[in-house]
Chain A
């Protein structure tokens, strides 16, 4: 008798109907969107604050380089002592006072620039002022040394290395970043999925033990059927949750930005991109980026994502199920969880640090073959183009290991679910396999 569909159905329905699950499903995107909205709103608030900066330029060299912007007004003070200026600035509650002393030559002037303010000033404002003064004083110095500024301006050259593979595919730095983002997202998604739903499977196994229903069930179905049913049912519930999150998140994003007029998608980087779009050079770059996106092995990526995701997830979730079966309560799981989490975290770190540096280097390649790390690392490598044979070998190893862990987990599971009382040691777990 095959009860697998029945078990999957029960596992799925109990998960989905669970109050905590429903609340988490609905609330998580709400909380996330609210958080993003608050952060976006606050940073906008901060940027929009108007401030006045007073300037006391005793040297008279730089006072004309400060141009008012939308948020910053420069107020040039004249014929005033430093102390009077300070008092005035304080009285008007200006943001601060920039003081350039007029004593000595250029070198001593450049060493005696000071900024007075009530609180310590923001780093961006100071570096902004610094660069302005620096440029002006450099120009003056150059002129003193008889250099024609125009010629310098004319001889400035901009280099942007064009990248092209031997087969003629053009790539760019931005393209690499995009690929990295793609692979990173896929790898990270798998990582999160394993941790969240692996734990859920483990808890549901422990629940059957603590409620003592396990022996009733196990007299009707084979333990391996129960275990697989649990893994599949929980995964389906997880996919449901993810899809709801995506839809809900998207809808909420649109609603929130419509109501508050806050453009949530407007991150600083994108602003930069938009600004860059204005000049021709960048437009060509964007075009290249787009073709690169299209040229990315999309179908390969999707198929590999599905296969590695399933393989990696099943591999880890069968281990989670075995842990759940081996212990009596959740507090006992720590010692067994560590050896599972280690390779998983290792995979993410290798993905982030090594794949960026060199997607086809030895470390990345080796770890994209080792089954416990391969799903994450390989998913991060694939956007950079991995030969099909490498992917196939890695998949073969992954699914082979998966078969082994399922067999292993089923052994532990079969014995463990009927064991109550003390927490087993690793030695005992090995012994169980022979039962």
Chain B
């Protein structure tokens, strides 16, 4: 069983509104899976179905090859986008309560909480009330509560919102550490740079349909156009540009650099290799910049959504 979670042809309607239309995803074990899509695409509905908060109209969801059942609640940790804590309850009491709801016994929960509180350096908050803490502080506690029962599947919806860069980094490292310890992560966000950084697989939802999914590297390979961004030192830029354009498909571009060079995007045909291009360019002048343009997750996102 390579996939920890499989959703097969899941559909969900709210009245006349279709929230999910025949969506299937497969989340490989031990991966970080990015669930992406514009607002209102159906991500939250899918996540809620995985959490058994909402029942699908049709389709099945399998966890570890088994149909989802209430017993699987303890195997899933969920950090929702709309999250909060009881404002007037003490941090420790609250964390214990939420841990017990996930099926941990009190002593075990306490021990694990101690470990995590020390790890995130929030040990002295135990007796504070949530309303005395800042938003970022409350988010840390929320994170701890989500991962405390060591679930097989972790679902994070916009986990970094409300964190300063230092704490966001801290949480990112914790997520990676959890993954290395064997957890599988579903990660929903609009911040494409963290998708780039963290995700192995992605699925893109748009208007209740899945429009793209797969290994992020494969998708990038599929979307790349053999375009190279180059910079060459030249005395007469216009002349050189025309010379190169006679041999390759060229467009002008601009990128930040220290030199005032000729900057071009060059698209290679199937017969050319990057080495050919580099050799050719080096005869024309000193090459200061040579990069293959690989589409970012952001590019893919925008392009795919626009095309649909």
Contact = CB atoms under 8 A, between A and B. Distances in A.
Interface in A126-167: none
B84 A211 contact: yes
A246 interface: no
A1 B103 contact: yes
B14 interface: yes
Interface string A278-292: 000000000000000
A353 B103 CA distance: 54
Contacts of B270: none
28 contacts: A1-B70, A1-B71, A1-B73, A1-B103, A3-B101, A6-B101, A207-B87, A211-B86, A211-B87, A212-B83, A213-B84, A213-B86, A215-B82, A216-B80, A216-B83, A216-B84, A216-B85, A216-B142, A217-B101, A218-B53, A219-B51, A219-B52, A219-B76, A220-B73, A220-B102, A420-B82, A431-B15, A435-B14
A44 interface: no
Interface string B53-75: 10000000000000000110110
B160 interface: no
A142 B85 CA distance: 87
Interface of B: 14-15, 48, 51-53, 70-71, 73-74, 76, 78, 80, 82-89, 97-98, 100-103, 142, 145
Contacts of B14: 435
Interface residues of A, number: 24
A18 interface: yes
A397 interface: no
A273 interface: no
B154 to A, nearest CB: 12
Nearest to A428: B15
A221 interface: yes
Contact of A18 (B48, B83, B88): B88
B253 to A, nearest CB: 44
Interface in A378-435: 418, 420, 431, 434-435
Nearest to A217: B101
A215 B82 CA distance: 7
Nearest to B157: A215
A6 to B, nearest CB: 6
A28 interface: no
Contacts of A222: 70
A209 to B, nearest CB: 9
A220 B73 CA distance: 6
Most buried by B among A6, A213, A434: A213
Contacts of A420: 82
A215 B44 CA distance: 11
A10 interface: yes
* The 6 residue pairs across chains A and B that have the minimum distance between CB atoms: A212-B84, A220-B101, A215-B80, A211-B84, A219-B78, A219-B51
Contacts of B97: 6, 10
Contact of B88 (A6, A10, A14, A221): A14
B83 A215 contact: yes
Contacts of B73: 1, 219-220
A434 B15 contact: yes
Interface string A217-259: 1111110000000000000000000000000000000000000
Nearest to A19: B88
A247 B25 CA distance: 62
Given A14-B88, A435-B14, A219 B53 contact: yes
Given A216-B78, A221-B101, A418 B83 contact: no
A376 to B, nearest CB: 34
Nearest to B98: A216
B102 A212 contact: no
Given A1-B73, A435-B15, 7 more contacts: A3-B101, A6-B101, A207-B86, A213-B84, A215-B78, A219-B52, A434-B15
A218 B86 CA distance: 14
Given A1-B73, A213-B85, A219 B103 contact: no
Nearest to B130: A211
Contacts of A431: 15
Contacts of B82: 212, 215, 420
Contacts of B74: 1
Nearest to B79: A216
Contacts of B87: 207, 211
B70 A216 contact: no
Interface string A1-39: 101001000100010001000000000000000000000
A3 B6 CA distance: 28
A213 to B, nearest CB: 5
